[in-house]
Amino acid sequence: MVVSVAILGGSGYTGGELLRLLLSHPEVEVKQVTSRSRAGKFVHTVHPNLRKRTALKFVPPEALEPVDLLFACLPHGETAPIVDRLLELAPIVIDLSADFRLRDPAAYEQWYHWTHPRPDLLAQAVYGLPELHREEIRNARYIACPGCNSTTVILGLAPLFRAGLIDLDLPVTVECKVGSSGAGGEAGPASHHPERSGVIRPFKPGGHRHTAEVLQELTVCGRTPSLGLSVTSVEAVRGILATAHLFPKQPLTDRDLWQVYRAAYGQEPFIRLVKEASGIHRYPEPKILAGSNYCDIGWELDELPGGRQRLVVMSAIDNLMKGAAGQAVQAMNIRLGFPETLGLEFPGLHPL
């Protein structure tokens, strides 16, 4: 018996990608997709790749009926105020917004300049990153899917911090290079093609909100790294490459790193270690990940003048897949006891 699902906020890029995945998923049936502005229109008028795949039309949010599982894809700040209604509609809610990702209400004040309206519920939400929280996801009532930059950075770095390899007295610097789809489907001056095409543009040199999630998840034994995140926009629609620069406590070798990463991720279906001695695809790169749910991770050791060793960790995802809709489906599969890769088998295209 298939599981009934609905998507609240289905006209954006994340909602569209989720819809694409769910329409092909053998164990679920998409009952409703909402859009206030597009209500009454076929979903393929907004998501043209779904033409001939579904006869669904958008419904207004008020028309939502109870389902087994509800996906919420609203903009930041719009889910928390209506969370009680969502919990009435479905026994399981998977929220792709930022509203329940942070456990500490003060973090919302600091990073979002926003007083969280329902701090009472923050502790109940599970941070939906399967590689770090799989067991909690299995029984979660409310799953808060991580941000796209956060996913990329956390997956790249968590094994190192958990293994205690990093010198926490030294700063950690991370730079994410991101495509344009991460900013969403609404047109504006910064996304106007003549202005956005071909840019290498500092988007957020400091203070990016996803930093809060990264700090939360990389805090081990109460120690929060001194981590700074910069985000640069580059020419791509999908894709994030995070490059992290860290300084080990003790000098490391490639063998050490293979061991740490294999121990952490050897059984993970959606993580691949990419570190080749030759060829043009020696390191992770997001281009070949479009449409796939993989996170590719690699590294390089660099000896700096003065004898310090720098560890460069590179991780790559498709921001709309492992960074949003794909990860949400992965969490759903875990929560509902399906094979974790169900509906997420697409490997990505080459060349593209």
Annotated binding residues for NADP(+), as ranges? 11-14, 319
Q: Taking the complex as a whole, how short is the minimal distance between the CB of residue 260 and a copy of itself, in angstroms?
A: 18
Burial of 101 (0-12, 13-18, 19+ CB in 10 A): buried
Active site residue 221: no
According to CB under 8 A, which residues from 197 to 226 bind a copy of itself?
Answer: 197-202, 205-207, 215, 224-226
Report which of 62, 58, 16 is spatially closest to residue 37, judged by C-alpha positions: 58
| Sheet order of strands, 92-95 included | 58-59, 28-34, 3-8, 69-72, 92-95, 142-144, 126-127
254 contacts a copy of itself (rule: CB under 8 A): no
**Nearest distance from residue 336's CB to a copy of itself, in Å?**
22
Rounded to the nearest 10 degrees, the angle between the axes of helix 148-162 and helix 210-218 is 20
Task: Check binding of 113 to a copy of itself (CB under 8 A).
Answer: no
Strands 309-317 and 295-303: antiparallel
Q: Which residue in 189, 222, 266, 337 binds a copy of itself (CB under 8 A)?
A: 189
Whole-Å CA distances, 26 to 4, 43, 63, 122, 344: 12, 20, 25, 32, 11
Q: Judged by CB under 8 A, does residue 121 bind a copy of itself? A: no
Question: Which of 177, 209, 322, 335 contacts a copy of itself by CB under 8 A?
Answer: 177
**Which C-beta is closer to a copy of itself: that of 150 or that of 292?**
292
- Binding of residue 152 to a copy of itself (CB under 8 A): no
Number of residues that bind a copy of itself (CB under 8 A): 100
Minimal distance in Å, beta carbon 140 to a copy of itself?
27
Is residue 173 left, alpha or beta, with left meaning phi > 0 and alpha meaning psi from -120 to 50?
A: beta
Pick one of 63, 106, 190, 263: the residue that binds a copy of itself (CB under 8 A): 190
How many other C-beta atoms can be found within 10 angstroms of the C-beta atom of residue 155? 28
Set 148, 176, 221, 295: catalytic member: 148
- Minimum Å distance from CB 18 to a copy of itself? 12
